[in-house]
Chain A
Amino acid sequence: GDSVTQMEGPVTLSEEAFLTINCTYTATGYPSLFWYVQYPGEGLQLLLKATKADDKGSNKGFEATYRKETTSFHLEKGSVQVSDSAVYFCALSDRPGRGGSYIPTFGRGTSLIVHP
């Protein structure tokens, strides 16, 4: 079955440091790949996505490139801010399941803590 593996956290950085959160996946088809972010006290929200190989998703200074050859979708940001402190989830969505709904597969989440 499908699976997503993320690096374990927490990741602790100083403000303006470079961020990488690793994500690798296993899927039978050609999935769409996602990064979701969960700020304290909130639900998850889409940060960025990529739907095919070599696509780069980007948003709010974050970016990730769909690498089919290494089955990876690593999240990067050049200069983190305190406000980026949150939990980041890598996810994939392979194909419609029964009824046409998409059944996503999520990683375990990586907590990011950014200090001033």
Chain B
Amino acid sequence: ETGVTQTPRHLVMGMTNKKSLKCEQHLGHNAMYWYKQSAKKPLELMFVYSLEERVENNSVPSRFSPECPNSSHLFLHLHTLQPEDSALYLCASSSRGGGMDTQYFGPGTRLTVL
């Protein structure tokens, strides 16, 4: 595998379910990001991890819980979601510092909350 991978690519869940999204980067980067992309809305940055430490949390509801066990893996744990949480969830990675500020995105997980 190369680049940034995300699984699953599609997820349908009920409001009472618990599920997790997984992101893995094979680029040797040390910063990882979760974004939410909804129709007709700007891209929303949710969380940022740098060297496995959470450095940004943009007022995201607690029903979204991120986890970064190492610099290659990022998870987004979901529980008791609402229908308005249906969106494309994108993971990205970048290199910390040194001007290497390009974001590398995965293909996204299309989430539908019923």
Contacts and interface: CB of A to CB of B under 8 A. Distances in A.
Contacts of A101: 31, 33, 48-50, 55-56, 94, 96
Interface in B22-60: 31, 33, 42-43, 45, 48-51, 53, 55-56
Which applies to chain B's interface (DSSP): helix, strand, loop or mixed? strand
Interface stretch (A18-26, A42-50, A62-70): A42-50
Contacts, number: 77
Interface string A35-67: 010000111111001010000000000000000
Given A98-B56, A104-B101, A43 B106 contact: yes
Chain A contact-residue range equals 20 to 34
A108 B45 CA distance: 13
Interface of A: 32, 34, 36, 41-46, 49, 51, 89, 91, 93, 96-104, 106-109
